[in-house]
Amino acid sequence: MKREAFKMFLKPGFEKEYEKRHAAIWPELKKMLSDGGVYDYSIYWDKDTNILFACQKTRGEESSQDMGANPIVQKWWDYMADIMEVNEDNSPVTIPLPEVFHMD
């Protein structure tokens, strides 16, 4: 099991839309992530900075951040590109966060 955290950036004014889209996450995306070993995945929103903080656990070495070649992921990126800061390929701008403390 591996834990991973990263931050992303939500465009101002799209908080409700972001929540709405994730509340209706595509079943094929959820299955692909689960089949790829991603579980216990949460995203938190810092309303003061519009930073999204994501944390996930994975079985194996791959995480959601390694699945960008999958067409389902690319379609999701395109769907989310209007409300997040993205790279040229519409992948969200993400910054990995190193773990400095953990307590079970």
Residue 4 falls within a domain, yes or no? yes
pTM: 0.91
Angle between helices 71-80 and 15-23 (to 10 degrees): 150
pLDDT digit string (tens) for 59-102?
Answer: 987 788 888 899 999 999 999 999 999 999 999 999 999 999 99
Number of domains composing the chain: 1
Strands (E), 1-104: 2-9, 38-46, 51-58, 95-97
Residue 102 falls within a domain, yes or no? no
Helix/strand/coil percent split, the chain, to 5 = 30, 30, 40
The share of the chain scoring above pLDDT 70, in percent, equals: 100
pLDDT of 39 above 80 = yes
Residues catalogued as catalytic = 22
> What CATH number did the domain enclosing 54 receive?
3.30.70.100
pLDDT of 28 above 90 = yes
Q: Which domain holds residue 37?
A: 1-95
